[in-house]
Amino acid sequence: MIALFELEFEEAWDKHFAKLDKTEQERIWKKIQQLKALEKARHLKHGLPFFVLETGQYRVCFSEENKTRTILFAGNHKQYEKWLKQQ
């Protein structure tokens, strides 16, 4: 049985996402929606409590608590690296 997760979004999660073209936004949005049923995701290194989902050159970072996944970031790899350094 697949556990379904509720999705929440941090206030500035779409800072970089909003600047992408519509085609890329749609592709990333589909991946974000898959997080509702995705069983496993890659855990970020450095001891941070985040997970990362990759879609091509783009990254979606989220945290997970109980049955809720909170989207923290969506953007390209370069933006992801900058975001990660700020955490």
Per-residue pLDDT 10s for the chain (87 aa) are 566 899 999 999 999 999 999 999 999 999 999 999 887 777 766 667 888 888 889 999 999 898 899 999 999 999 999 998 888
Distance separating alpha carbons of residues 63 and 22, to the nearest angstrom: 25
Distance separating alpha carbons of residues 54 and 30, to the nearest angstrom: 12
Confidence (pLDDT) at 86: 87
Instruction: Record the pTM.
Output: 0.86
Q: Which two tokens stand for residue 46?
A: 């450095």
Signed CA dihedral, 41, 84, 19, 64: sign only: positive
Query: Are the beta carbons of 28 and 55 closer than 8 angstroms?
Result: yes
Q: How far is CA 2 from the centre of its chain?
A: 20
Domains and CATH numbers, the chain: 6-86 (3.30.2310.20)
Query: Are the beta carbons of 5 and 35 closer than 8 angstroms?
Result: yes
